[in-house]
Structure 1
Amino acid sequence: MTNAPKLSDQLCFAAYSFTHALNRAYRPLLEPLGLTYPQYLVMLVLWEADGQTVKEIGERLKLDSGTLTPLLKRLETIGYVSRRRGKADERQVIVHLTDDGRALSDKAAGIPIELGCAMGAELAEIADLRERLLAMRDRLGETGCAVGEAEG
C-alpha cells in the first residue's frame, strides 16, 4: 500500500480541518450577538441588501431552502428578521431585517478584525486567501479534466 493516499497530503482534509477551526474561532465572537455561524452568514447577506427572497439568500449562500428555512425561522424567533409573503407573487417569501437586526450590524462590525487577530493574519492576507478560495471554488467542475489527467 505504498501508493495509498495520505491524509496529510489531501486538500479536502486541510479544508475540512480549517473550516472546523474557523467555526471554533467564530463561536466566541458571535456568542454575544446570539448568533450561530450559519445565522451570521444570513445576517451578512441581509445587511448588504435588506428585503431579499429566500431564494436570493439561498443562492448567495449556496444553501437550499430546506437548510435555510430553519435558520430564518430561528432568526425570526429571536427578533432579527421578519418573513412575509410577496405581494406580487405569494409563493415568494421575502426576508426583512427588524430594527434589532439592523442594529446588530454595528455590534458585528469588528468581527473580521477580531478573526484576523485570532488567525494571526493581516486583513490583506485574509482577503487574498478569500479571493483565491472563491476562484478555485468557481473553477471546480469546470476544468474538464478527467480523473488522473491532472497528475501528468
Structure 2
Amino acid sequence: MTASHHQAPAAAELLRLDNQICFALHAASRAFGTLYRTALRELDLTYPQYLVMLVLWESDGLPVKEIGARLRLDSGTLSPLLKRLEAGGLIRRLRSEQDERSVEIHLTAAGEALRDRAADVPRQIAGATGMPVAELADLRARVAALTAAIDGTPEPASPEGCP
C-alpha cells in the first residue's frame, strides 16, 4: 500500500454535502414526511398526530409526560397536538386519580377504531421504499443505535420484524 491509502480525506472532501450523514438523514426524513403525508391523508392525521396515536395504541392511558418522553417532544409541542386529537374525538384527557397534577391520555372508541384503518400505513410506507422488510428493520435498528450513541443512551428494543 502506498502512503496515500493511509492519509485522512482532504478537508474539501470532508466538507462535501454528499458526504454528510446529517444531510442523508435529513433528506430521508423529508422524503418519509412526504410519504406519510400521503398515507395519512385518508386518516385525517398529521405525522406527529400519527406518532401520538401509535404510542396510545401500544399503551392507552399514559400520562402526557410519558408520551412526550417517548416521542421526544416537549409539552409546548405536544399540548397542541393533543388538543387537536381531542377536538377530533380520538382521545380524551383525564386527570390522574393518583396524582391530580398529572393528565392521562385515553383513546376514545373512535381513536380505537382508527387503529384498524391505520394498519395498512406501515405496509404502504415499506412498499414505497422498495426495500425488503428485513432490510428496513436492519436500517431502523442501525439508525436507532446511531441515535442512542449520539444521545449517550441505551437503544430501545425493537419488536421482531418491525421496520
Question: What is the RMSD computed on CA atoms of the aligned residues?
Answer: 1.4
Percentage of identical aligned residues = 52
Aligned to 1:150: none
Where does structure 1 differ by over 4 angstroms across 4 or more consecutive aligned residues? none
Which TM-score applies when normalising by structure 2? 0.83
The yes-or-no answer on 1:3 pairing with 2:11 is yes
Aligned residue-pair number: 142
- 1:64: which partner in 2? 74
1:72-131 alpha-carbon deviations (Å, 9 max, x no partner)? 001001110000111221110100000000000000111111111111112211111111
User: Matches of 1:100 and 1:125 in 2, distance apart?
Assistant: 34
Select 2:47's aligned residue among 22, 25, 37: 37
Residue ranges of structure 2 left out of the alignment (5+ in a row): 1-9, 154-163
- How far off its partner does 1:7 sit? 1.0
Instruction: State the SS of the aligned residue for 1:140.
Output: helix
Structure 1 segments unaligned to the other structure (5+ residues): 144-152
The structural deviation recorded for 1:3 is 2.4
Superposition deviation, residue 57 in structure 1: 0.4
The structure with more radius of gyration: 2
Would you say 1:78 and 2:106 are equivalent positions? no
TM-score for the superposition, normalised by structure 1: 0.89
Does structure 2 conserve the Cα–Cα contact (< 8 Å) formed by 1:113 and 1:123? no
